[in-house]
């Protein structure tokens, strides 16, 4: 493929299969660091990845709403000194908006969305 934003490889030279990788201009936006409840997007969208870390235990949830009144579509608990990176394939679809709910802790959360 001639587009320099897309790497079209099927194996890595050692016989291992790899998947195409979308690069920077693919349209996915990073929320920047979030440490408390807050709106990620004020309209319908999709979440492709989420990274979270915290010194103390934390609970995070992604809510389909413009505030914390909608349906939780996804959530997790992170232990003290924990880190996780989640990739959603297919992405999580939000009909109303993307809202980050942090009922416990003050983690560093980054959300990749469109």
How far is Cα 47 from Cα 81, in angstroms, rounded to an integer? 24
Fold of 27-113: Jelly Rolls (2.60.120)
Domain ranges of the chain: 27-113
**pLDDT tens profile 2-53:** 444 444 444 555 655 544 444 444 689 999 999 999 999 999 999 999 999 9
pTM across the whole model: 0.76
Let me know if 69 is exposed, middle or buried by CB neighbors in 10 A (0-12, 13-18, 19+).
Answer: exposed
How far is Cα 101 from Cα 96, in angstroms, rounded to an integer? 15
Strand partners, 17: 11
């Amino acid at each position: 493929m001639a587009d320099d934003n897309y790497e079209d490889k099927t194996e890595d030279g050692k016989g291992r299969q790899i998947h195409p990788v979308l690069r920077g201009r693919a349209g996915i936006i990073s929320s920047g660091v979030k440490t408390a409840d807050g709106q990620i997007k004020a309209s319908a969208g999709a979440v492709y990845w989420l990274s979270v870390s915290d010194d103390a235990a934390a609970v995070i949830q992604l809510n389909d709403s413009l505030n914390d009144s909608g349906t939780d579509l996804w959530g997790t608990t992170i232990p003290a000194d924990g880190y996780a990176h989640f990739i959603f394939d297919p992405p999580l679809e939000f009909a109303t908006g993307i809202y980050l709910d942090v009922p416990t802790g003050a983690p560093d959360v980054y959300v990749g969305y469109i």
